[in-house]
Amino acid sequence: MRKALILALVLLLAGCSGGDTDKTPPPTPSPDLSGRPAAVATNAGPFESGPVVAPARGALVGAWIKPDELTHVGRLAAVGSLESDLGRKLSIVNTYRRFEQMVGTPSDREFLAQGATLMVSWATGDNRSILDGEHDDLIRKQAKAIRKIHKPVLLRMRWEMDRPNLRATMWSAGDYIAAWKYVRNIFKQEHADNASWVWCPTAEGFIRGDAPGFYPGDDQVDWTCVDVYAGELFQPIGQLMGPFLEFAAKHPKPIVIGEFGVAKAWGSAGRAAWLRDAERTFKANPQIKAIAYFESDPEGNPITKQFQLTGDRQAFKAFHALATDPYFNP
């Protein structure tokens, strides 16, 4: 009887433990973040990178920094604050645009005037409506806007196109490739030849195996790219993007890590260790010519999808060490 009561009490306590699962990550074995990078796969070049020329050695450092307000002043303040904390200018400023939002805003021009390269993450729409010609005027307008800034731009046309939640507008890999070629041809007609075309799926898409099917071809792509996060899975960055690196090594293109981040869920020490391993991995893969951190805590995201480093002294120190390393200041 006594054993039955104890068992019932244990089951009751287990059932009541509850808690907010958004704040606590699932248990994951601690990875080895101190040794050799988990993946090395490199094309020795030479690389065909388009107007944005890849450095001969080392890699450019950039970021997306979510501003307090999506205004000219807000964008400048966000980037300026991170640059001040790092003690250096960013080589790349990532910026997101909806289909109808044009490049060439006052803040865009200010970043360019300061010597940064814009990486424009452009959320183009439904691929079949693009192919039906429904957005030709909008695409031409964007091509002209990019041409008029007279500076090389990294253009991520519909980044993360392999995400399952985008399938309704991507339709298929074939539709995406056809839309890519259609849009790029309009840019050619408008002489917007200052854009380097960046193809950027997710690391998960390479792990699943479906991302490579979206590749438009070496004649269409200037930079290969991947977005990779230690979010709900805490694994070394090399392990997370290993399948991508193997794919990219087969193509004579420089690599940009379009977004990378390590979630707050993994604690300051874990985040710092992950970033130090990321630095080693980037250096061990010299085909990687640019990296851009995702310095943001998107509103409404659980702690496994919050990546801002500012305010986390230990993690930021690791990123600061990366950003000020001569290798990342070519």
Model confidence, pTM: 0.90
Of the pLDDT bands very low, low, confident and very high (cuts 50, 70, 90), residue 30 is low
Q: Answer for the pair 63, 263: CB distance below 8 angstroms, yes or no.
A: no
pLDDT on residue 28: 52
Q: Is the pLDDT of residue 42 over 90?
A: yes
Contacts of 237 (CB under 8 A, 6+ apart): 38, 228, 230, 260, 274, 277, 278, 281
Active site residues: 160, 259
When pLDDT is averaged across residues 285-305 and rounded to a whole number, the result is: 96
pLDDT on residue 34: 72
Q: Is the pLDDT of residue 17 over 70?
A: no
pLDDT on residue 24: 47
DSSP assignment letter at 202: B
When pLDDT is averaged across residues 169-192 and rounded to a whole number, the result is: 98
pLDDT on residue 88: 97
3-state DSSP assignment of residue 190 = coil
The stretches of the chain forming alpha helices (DSSP H) are 2-16, 72-86, 106-113, 127-131, 136-148, 167-170, 173-189, 203-208, 237-248, 267-284, 313-324
Separation of alpha carbons 327 and 109, rounded Å: 27
Q: Is the pLDDT of residue 315 over 60?
A: yes
Q: Is the pLDDT of residue 4 over 60?
A: no
Of the pLDDT bands very low, low, confident and very high (cuts 50, 70, 90), residue 11 is very low
CA torsion 249-251-254-257 (nearest 10°) is -60
The pLDDT tens digits for 135-155 are 999 999 999 999 999 999 999
The pLDDT tens digits for 250-270 are 999 999 999 999 999 999 999
Separation of alpha carbons 99 and 97, rounded Å: 6
pLDDT on residue 238: 97
Per-domain residue ranges for the chain?
A: 33-328
Question: Across all residues in the chain, what is the average pLDDT?
Answer: 91
Contacts of 234 (CB under 8 A, 6+ apart): 25, 28, 30, 31, 265, 266, 270, 274
CATH number belonging to the domain at 33-328, selected among 2.40.160.40, 3.40.50.10470, 3.40.50.2300, 3.20.20.80: 3.20.20.80
